[in-house]
C-alpha cells in the first residue's frame, strides 16, 4: 500500500514537472523588410530574418517545416526554413500579394492579389499556380472553412465577402457588408463566419449556408470617438466562447461573448493594433501594433495583457509554431 502511494506520488510529480509546450512566433515587419522571431518562453526577440520588400501576410505550414511570407512589392511569396531561418524558395503569388490563407491540410494556398482583383490558388508542394479566381476590387482577408471546402475573401472597395467553393474553384455567393471589410474568420465549429469592416466600425456575423448576416457587432470605447474604432483582425478562443477583435487605431482588442454578440471587455494594447495569432494550446494571443512597433501578448484565460515585446518597424502579421 505504501509502495503504491509512493509510486503514485512520484508519477504525479513527474507529470507536474513535465515541460509545457514551447512556442515560437514570427512577426512580419512591413517597414523593415524583416521577420522577427519571438521565443514565447523568454518573451523576447531571438532573431531577425531579412526578407523581401513590404512583408505582410505570414503563416506556418501545418507540418511546421516552412514559413510563408507575402512580400508584396516583390510580387512573390517567400519560403523560409524555420530551422535555418533562411529564405529557401518562392511561390508564384501573382501581383502584389497582401495576405493569404492556407488550406487546412496545407496543400493549397489562397492569395489575395490586391491590384488585380483576383485570387491566386497555389499548390504549395509543387510551388506552382493552379488557378486564378476573379473577385471584388482590392481583395484582402482570406479564411478557409474548418471542413476545407470553402474559402471566404473580403474585397475592400466592393464591400463584399465572397464565398468560393474550393473543389470547384468558383464563386458561389457574395454578401454586401459595411465599408472596407478586412478580415474573415470562421468559428472552429464552422457555424459562422465573422467579417470585420474597418471603416464601418463593425463585425458582421454570416451564416455560411444561407449567406445571410445574422448579427452585427458594434463597439464603444469610453471617451473615444466612434470613427477611430476600426475592426481588423479576429481570433476565436479554442472553445468558440469568445472572439477577440483588433480595433486598429482605437488601440484596443475587444473581447466579444459569442453567445450574446456583445463586447465584454476592451484590452489596452499598442498603437494601431492590426493582426493576431493564437498559440495552438489557446493560452496566448499575440497582437501586432503597427505604430508602436511592438507585439502585445494576451493571456487568453485571464483576458489580460501579459507582456509587450518590441519588434521591427510597422509589424503587420504574426504566426505561431512549436519550437
d(C-alpha 315, C-alpha 311), whole Å:
7
pLDDT digits (tens, 9 = 90+) for 1-33: 444 544 445 444 444 444 567 999 999 999 999
Q: Are 186 and 144 in contact (CB under 8 A)?
A: yes
User: In a 10 Å sphere around its CB, with 0-12 CB exposed, 13-18 middle and 19+ buried, how is residue 248 labelled?
Assistant: buried
Please give the span between the terminal C-alpha atoms of the chain, in angstroms, as a whole number: 41
Report pLDDT for 3.
Answer: 47
Q: Could you tell me the CA-to-CA distances from 213 to 81, 186, 210 in Å, in that order?
A: 41, 14, 9
Would the pLDDT of 257 be above 60? Answer: yes
Report pLDDT for 19.
Answer: 53
User: In a 10 Å sphere around its CB, with 0-12 CB exposed, 13-18 middle and 19+ buried, how is residue 18 labelled?
Assistant: exposed
Q: Which of 15-24, 101-110, 131-140, 307-316 has the lowest mean pLDDT?
A: 15-24
Would the pLDDT of 261 be above 80? Answer: yes
d(C-alpha 234, C-alpha 243), whole Å:
7
d(C-alpha 36, C-alpha 38), whole Å:
6
pLDDT digits (tens, 9 = 90+) for 91-106: 999 898 999 999 999 9
How many residues does the structure list for the chain?
A: 323
Would the pLDDT of 296 be above 50? Answer: yes
Q: Which of 231, 166, 230 is nearest to 195 (CA)?
A: 231
Q: Which of 184, 271, 158 is nearest to 236 (CA)?
A: 184
What's the whole-number mean pLDDT along residues 47-66?
97
Percent of the chain with pLDDT over 70: 94
Sequence-distant (≥ 6) Cβ neighbours of residue 286 within 8 angstroms: 25, 27, 38, 276, 277, 278, 279, 295, 296, 297, 298, 318, 320
Establish how many alpha carbons lie within 13 A of residue 29's alpha carbon, considering only the half-sphere containing its beta carbon.
23
Question: Which of 3.40.50.300, 3.10.20.10, 3.90.25.10, 2.130.10.10 is the CATH number of 21-322?
Answer: 2.130.10.10
pLDDT digits (tens, 9 = 90+) for 149-197: 999 999 999 999 999 999 999 999 999 999 999 999 999 999 999 999 9
Report pLDDT for 263.
Answer: 98
**Where exactly are the structural domains of the chain?**
21-322
Report pLDDT for 21.
Answer: 78
What's the whole-number mean pLDDT along residues 288-299?
98
* pTM of the full structure: 0.93
pLDDT digits (tens, 9 = 90+) for 99-130: 999 999 999 999 999 888 999 999 999 999 99
d(C-alpha 270, C-alpha 299), whole Å:
15
Q: Facing residues of 267 across strands?
A: 253
pLDDT digits (tens, 9 = 90+) for 198-239: 999 999 999 999 999 999 999 999 999 999 999 999 999 999
Report pLDDT for 8.
Answer: 46
Amino acid at each position: 500500500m505504501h509502495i503504491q502511494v509512493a509510486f503514485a506520488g512520484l508519477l504525479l510529480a513527474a507529470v507536474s514537472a513535465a515541460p509545457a509546450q514551447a512556442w515560437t512566433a514570427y512577426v512580419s515587419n512591413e517597414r523593415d523588410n524583416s521577420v522577427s522571431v519571438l521565443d514565447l518562453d523568454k518573451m523576447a526577440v531571438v532573431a531577425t530574418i531579412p526578407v523581401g520588400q513590404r512583408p505582410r501576410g505570414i503563416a506556418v505550414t501545418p507540418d511546421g517545416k516552412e514559413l510563408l511570407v507575402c512580400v508584396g512589392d516583390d510580387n512573390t511569396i517567400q519560403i523560409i526554413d524555420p530551422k535555418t531561418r533562411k529564405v529557401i524558395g518562392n511561390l508564384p503569388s501573382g501581383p502584389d500579394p497582401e495576405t493569404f490563407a492556407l488550406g487546412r491540410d496545407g496543400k493549397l494556398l489562397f492569395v489575395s492579389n490586391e491590384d488585380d482583383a483576383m485570387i491566386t490558388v497555389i499548390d504549395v508542394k509543387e510551388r506552382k499556380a493552379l488557378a486564378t479566381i476573379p473577385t471584388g476590387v482590392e481583395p484582402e482577408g482570406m479564411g478557409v472553412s474548418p471542413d476545407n471546402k470553402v474559402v471566404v475573401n473580403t474585397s475592400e472597395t466592393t464591400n463584399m465577402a465572397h464565398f468560393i467553393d474550393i473543389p470547384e474553384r468558383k464563386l458561389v455567393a457574395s454578401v454586401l457588408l459595411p465599408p472596407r471589410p478586412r478580415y474573415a474568420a470562421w468559428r472552429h465549429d464552422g457555424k459562422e463566419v465573422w467579417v470585420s469592416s474597418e471603416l464601418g466600425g463593425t463585425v458582421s456575423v454570416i451564416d455560411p449556408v444561407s449567406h445571410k448576416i445574422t448579427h452585427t457587432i458594434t463597439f464603444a470605447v469610453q471617451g473615444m470617438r466612434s470613427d477611430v474604432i476600426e475592426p481588423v483582425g479576429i481570433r476565436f478562443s479554442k472553445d468558440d466562447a469568445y472572439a477577440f477583435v483588433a480595433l486598429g487605431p482605437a488601440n484596443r482588442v475587444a473581447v466579444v461573448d459569442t453567445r450574446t454578440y456583445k463586447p465584454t471587455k476592451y484590452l489596452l494594447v499598442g498603437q494601431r493594433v492590426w493582426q493576431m495569432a493564437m498559440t495552438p494550446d489557446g493560452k496566448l494571443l499575440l497582437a501586432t501594433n503597427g505604430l508602436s512597433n511592438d507585439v502585445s501578448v494576451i493571456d487568453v484565460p485571464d483576458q489580460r495583457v501579459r507582456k509587450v515585446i518590441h519588434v521591427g518597424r510597422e509589424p503587420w502579421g504574426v504566426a505561431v509554431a512549436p519550437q
